Amino acid sequence: MTKVKTATSRSSSYHDYLISSLKDIEEATAYLETFLELDEEGREAEILRSALKDIIDARILANDLSEKAKQRYEELDQLLSENAGNEIYTLIEFLDALGYRIALVPKE
């Protein structure tokens, strides 16, 4: 019997691959930094929320998520859902106006 790939199976396998790759802290850092560097038109709280959820899912699968991190994630997710991440994006825009940019670096 021939195995037929559907859009759903490809999407699912990509998501599985993404979550697996995000177990690596360097990959997760680069992935998240991409969403923080988007210009104003590309910034959407839902996309940032989705990226954060992917990283959390990867950490859960790797059994590498503390209760404190889980709690902070839930608080941040609530904040992003309530006000579209305005505080985060305003901070990024303010720093940009001062000549800075946000850079994520994994802790040693």
CA-based nearest residue to 52, from 90, 95, 81, 12: 81
CA-based nearest residue to 32, from 65, 61, 56: 56
Residue 105 lies in a domain: no
Residue 20 lies in a domain: yes
Q: What is the mean pLDDT of residues 47-74?
A: 90
Residue 76 lies in a domain: yes
> For position 7, what pLDDT does the model report?
47
Residue 43 clears pLDDT 80, i.e. is over it: no
- Residue 68 domain boundaries: 8-97
Domains in the chain, number: 1
Cβ–Cβ < 8 Å for 80, 45 = yes
Residue 103 lies in a domain: no
Structure tokens at 85: 């991440």
Q: What is the mean pLDDT of the chain?
A: 82
Q: Sorting pLDDT into bands at 50, 70 and 90, what band is 1?
A: very low
Q: What is the mean pLDDT of residues 60-85?
A: 87
Residue 102 lies in a domain: no
